Amino acid sequence: MLREAARELKQKKNLLVFPEGTRSKGDTMNEFKAGALLPAYLSKATIVPVALKKAYTLDISSDHTKQLEIEYGKPIRASEYKKISQEDLAKELHDWIQSRIDISPEDK
């Protein structure tokens, strides 16, 4: 599946990856799975970090509407991350996303 995702990225298609592999049950993210970045590395795709704030409050089985705040990070080109291991980049992305989740709207 990861190699298929890389093929899609090479064809200039967008791919949304949830690198935790499961939903968090609160504001603290789980560790990222090691292979989550493999499609980007294989295809040399640009990575755009995305922080989904309060995503754990969403209930897809409910008809009730909830607001979700989304923050996009600076795009990271392959030329910038190719010298970094997948594990180190995953940690950097995890830390950035967690830092954005930790900021309340009043802190902005």
Is the pLDDT score of 108 beyond 90?
no
Q: Give the burial string for 37-47 (b: 16+ CB within 10 Å, else e).
A: bbbbbebebeb
CB 15 within 8 A of CB 39: yes
The reported pTM is 0.82
Is the pLDDT score of 107 beyond 60?
no
* Residues whose CB falls within 8 Å of the CB of residue 71, separated by 6 or more in sequence, listed in order: 50, 51, 53, 100
Q: What is the pLDDT of residues 7-57, one digit of tens each?
A: 999 999 999 988 998 777 778 888 998 789 999 999 999 999 999 887 777
Q: Which secondary-structure segment (H or E) carries 105? A: none
When pLDDT is averaged across residues 93-104 and rounded to a whole number, the result is 90
- Residue 106: pLDDT band by 50, 70, 90 thresholds? low
Boundaries of every domain in the chain: 2-107
